[in-house]
């Protein structure tokens, strides 16, 4: 996140003496990625953040691949993923490559018994159903339907849900997730043509500082294994921090669409980027206003990327028989476009109410066993004319 943020108490200068009220020292931690070259924050802990009592167990959670090399278009019925009580066990990997893993989750309960840290990947959690509070060692963020939660790798967190009816669309990214550089000037400020600005980004605004000793279970993901580690002090003991590396939220409802006289290409919907994939938001918007425009998207060839579209809500003009929670996969190597009849239906329409999240990956995606359990194996034939 290329915007400076400060929360809690910090000393005047980095790497200098910072005393507690009793005269002892707070413990400084540099929290950053890409060596010393990426985004970072300086944290100040009540206790040393290095006190591990026990390493208990490890469990492999690598996706189980069913289709390693795919050229078939698929539709997946996302809401067929069954709810589970545990947050981590509820996360089902659907599509994966060496850069990212796309997951669905329907957790029923909050993460009350453990803390979680993903040291493999940044996480983008899209809230399709549910509301609550993301609690992290860098502060808390309230969330609701339509929110993107961006959680950089290494952030220690819990999620408190207010209901049991929760649906999440998750992307684990092994590459850092950024706001698109085309929307930023060379100082990092979002430009006037950006579909969102700094006011729309919700940063942590509530810092829990818990001075507790005991046994605190931390589940840490590293190289597709989850390790259970017991820490001697509460992970949320930060009294303050400042910097550029922290979690944040952005609502899809605050994304302002870019429209034109004729159909605009998908990059105008871009919301986040990495050097391995992009994320786009399709939101309610006015259609093209050229008198002879065709609002439906044109056929286009997926030569360089796999396209994944997660359907959130509304009427999806370019697709037939699509419901919320469905996921379409249009793989690289073949063209795709609107379903039969969609072009004709779109002519003369003034606006769309669709809501969807798109992920375009530059490497092919592998299909998992859990994906095939919810797959429509005949979807690729839905463009045939009858």
pLDDT attached to residue 253: 97
> Which residues, 6+ apart, have CB-to-CB distance to 89 below 8 Å?
none
CB 360 within 8 A of CB 307: yes
CA distances from residue 269 to 3, 122, 180, 183, 325 in whole angstroms, order as listed: 22, 21, 11, 12, 20
How many other CB atoms are found less than 10 A from the CB of residue 51? 12
pTM of the model: 0.96
Measured in whole angstroms, the distance separating CA 367 from the mean position of its chain's CA atoms is 19
Residue of 338, 346, 340, 333 whose CA lies nearest to 299: 338
pLDDT attached to residue 315: 78
Indicate if the pLDDT at residue 317 is higher than 80: no
What average pLDDT score do residues 33-46 get? 93
- Tell me the pLDDT tens digit for each residue of 186-200: 999 999 999 999 999
Return the structure tokens found at 206.
Answer: 């509530």
> Which residues, 6+ apart, have CB-to-CB distance to 96 below 8 Å?
63, 65, 102, 365, 366, 368
Kindly report the average pLDDT of the chain as a whole number: 95
Indicate if the pLDDT at residue 108 is higher than 80: yes
Indicate if the pLDDT at residue 145 is higher than 90: yes
Indicate if the pLDDT at residue 322 is higher than 90: no
For each of the domains in the chain, give its residue range(s) and CATH number, in order of start.
28-64+82-252 (2.60.120.10), 255-381 (2.60.120.10)
pLDDT attached to residue 207: 96
- 348 torsion bin: left (phi>0), alpha (psi -120 to 50), beta (else): left
How far apart are the C-alpha atoms of 382 and 384, rounded to whole Å? 6
- Report percent pLDDT > 70 for the chain: 100
pLDDT attached to residue 266: 87
Residue of 321, 297, 311, 302 whose CA lies nearest to 363: 302
CA distances from residue 370 to 105, 121, 214 in whole angstroms, order as listed: 12, 21, 38
Return the structure tokens found at 204.
Answer: 């942590």
3-class secondary structure, 136: strand
What average pLDDT score do residues 81-90 get? 96
Return the structure tokens found at 184.
Answer: 């930023």
Return the structure tokens found at 385.
Answer: 């004319």
- Tell me the pLDDT tens digit for each residue of 194-226: 999 999 999 999 999 999 999 999 999 999 999
DSSP 202: B
3-class secondary structure, 200: helix
Q: How confident is the model at residue 11 (pLDDT cuts 50, 70, 90)?
A: very high
How far apart are the C-alpha atoms of 49 and 42, rounded to whole Å? 13
How far apart are the C-alpha atoms of 327 and 332, rounded to whole Å? 16
């Amino acid at each position: 996140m290329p915007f400076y943020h400060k929360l809690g108490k910090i000393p005047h200068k980095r790497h200098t003496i910072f005393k507690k009220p009793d005269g002892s020292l707070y413990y400084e931690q540099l929290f950053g990625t890409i060596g010393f070259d990426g985004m970072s924050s300086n944290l100040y802990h009540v206790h040393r953040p290095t006190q591990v009592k026990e390493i208990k167990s490890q469990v492999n959670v690598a996706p189980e691949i069913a289709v390693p090399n795919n050229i078939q278009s698929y539709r997946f019925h996302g809401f067929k993923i069954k709810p589970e009580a545990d947050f981590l066990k509820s996360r089902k990997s659907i599509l994966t490559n060496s850069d990212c893993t796309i997951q669905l989750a329907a957790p029923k309960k909050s993460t009350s018994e453990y803390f979680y840290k993903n040291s493999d990947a940044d996480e983008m959690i899209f809230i399709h159903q549910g509301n609550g509070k993301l609690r992290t060692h860098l502060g808390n963020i309230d969330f609701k339907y339509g929110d993107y939660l961006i959680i950089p790798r290494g952030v220690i967190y819990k999620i408190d849900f207010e209901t049991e009816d929760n649906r999440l669309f998750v992307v684990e990214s092994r590459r850092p997730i950024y706001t698109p550089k085309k929307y930023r000037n060379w100082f990092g400020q979002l430009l006037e043509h950006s579909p969102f600005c700094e006011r729309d980004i919700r940063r942590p605004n509530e810092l829990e500082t818990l001075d507790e000793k005991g046994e605190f279970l931390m589940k840490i993901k590293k190289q597709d294994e989850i390790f259970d580690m017991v820490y001697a002090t509460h992970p949320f003991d930060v009294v303050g921090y400042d910097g550029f590396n922290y979690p944040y939220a952005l609502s899809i409802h605050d994304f302002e669409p870019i429209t034109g006289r004729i159909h605009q290409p998908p990059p105008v919907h871009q919301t986040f980027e990495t050097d391995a994939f992009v994320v786009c938001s399709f939101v309610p918007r006015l259609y093209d206003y050229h008198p002879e425009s065709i609002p439906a998207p044109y056929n286009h060839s997926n030569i360089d990327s796999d396209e994944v579209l997660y359907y959130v809500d509304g009427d999806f003009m370019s697709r037939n028989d699509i419901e919320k929670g469905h996921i379409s996969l249009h793989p690289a190597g073949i063209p795709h476009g609107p379903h039969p009849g969609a072009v004709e239906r779109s002519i003369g329409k003034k606006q769309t109410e669709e809501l969807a999240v798109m992920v375009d990956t530059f490497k092919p995606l592998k299909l998992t066993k859990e994906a095939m359990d919810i797959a429509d194996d005949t979807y690729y034939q839905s463009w045939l004319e009858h």
